[in-house]
A and B are shown apart, each in its own frame.
Chain A
């Protein structure tokens, strides 16, 4: 079994995954996706039998996974999982259908209905792009004048996606959230991500720091349900502590774990590669 780890920007995580594979005696190569041209139909011998998809660009990741699966390679995570996780609305729908508590969310298809949705949600509320990561463009909207100002800005943008709105209930939570790293049915690591001073968002990419903790049974069950809801695999489940219990707001399918690894003793990349090696042999 020859495995490729595809990337488009080589991060600490991809190197750690390759090292973990080597330590397990697993043949895994790092392959720059930017250097690929894949014939359809055709063979992609250079990639081996299976691929661990680690591209940072969502569109590149989706197109590559779809194509590789199409020409017969096994891909982790599966394209169907990536399709759900790279679209926040699809994630919300998947979580909601699986009865995983998730913040109330509106899709508004115009600026007028965005204001109506905001009335329903109340202020503050959270506005997010449909795709994207690292907390980028995730905005807490504290009042109606701010919402109108954001809408005015977005109306000037050419991208049609900017004329539609993903608006979400604001969850009162401590200045931290939860990141659970999952590989199949195993919760590999669980950390609190603590927002840096002066920042509302907790993303490590925004300066958030990680502290390990042991998940209680309620959280474990919710993480498993959230993982199953999007189709399972190697995932980062993000949850918040609300006054009514845990609520899951996102699931990441190319999970970064450098921050979490700094806080836990568990060898995260090794656990991930153990899962991947089992999964690709199925």
Chain B
């Protein structure tokens, strides 16, 4: 599946077996997106959260 990078307009390749919540990134500008919805052979992306100071394991 393909999606468009909202930042630079490049095409982002999204694996067909992607699931909601997964992170994909633009190869051109490195912007990160979270998969918000998968339906009808298409995918809707939203901007991924930026790493917080409290992120970790």
Which residues on A are within 8 Å of B, measured CB to CB? Answer: 7-10, 15, 30, 32, 34, 56-59, 86, 129, 131-134, 136, 236, 252-256
Contact-size category for B: 10 to 19
Main secondary structure of the interface of B (DSSP, over half): loop
Question: Out of B19, B22, B55, which one reaches A56, CB within 8 Å?
Answer: B55
CB <8 Å contact, B57 and A255: yes
Q: How far is the CB of B2 from chain A (nearest CB, A)?
A: 20
Q: How far is the CB of B56 from chain A (nearest CB, A)?
A: 2
14 contacts between A and B (CB under 8 A): A7-B21, A9-B23, A9-B49, A9-B55, A10-B21, A30-B21, A57-B54, A59-B52, A129-B53, A132-B53, A132-B56, A134-B56, A236-B57, A255-B57
Provide the residues of chain B in CB contact with A132, threshold 8 Å. Answer: 53-56
Count A/B pairs, Cβ under 8 Å.
Answer: 55
Which residues on B are within 8 Å of A, measured CB to CB? Answer: 19-23, 34, 48-49, 52-57
CB <8 Å contact, B56 and A32: no
CA distance A256 to B56 in the complex (A): 9
CA distance A129 to B53 in the complex (A): 10
9 closest A-B pairs by CB: A133-B56, A10-B21, A58-B54, A252-B57, A256-B57, A254-B57, A56-B55, A10-B22, A32-B21
Known: A8-B49, A9-B49. A32 touches B55 (CB 8 A): no
| Closest Cβ neighbor of B48 among chain A residues | A9
Provide the residues of chain A in CB contact with B55, threshold 8 Å. Answer: 9, 56-58, 132-134
Provide the residues of chain A in CB contact with B54, threshold 8 Å. Answer: 57-59, 86, 131-132
Provide the residues of chain A in CB contact with B57, threshold 8 Å. Answer: 56, 133-134, 236, 252-256
B21, B23, B49, B52, most chain A CB atoms within 10 A: B21
| Closest Cβ neighbor of B22 among chain A residues | A10
Q: How far is the CB of A188 from chain B (nearest CB, A)?
A: 15
List 16 additional A-B contacts (Cβ < 8 Å) besides A10-B34, A30-B19: A9-B48, A9-B49, A10-B19, A32-B20, A34-B49, A58-B56, A86-B54, A131-B54, A132-B54, A133-B55, A134-B56, A134-B57, A236-B57, A253-B57, A254-B56, A255-B57
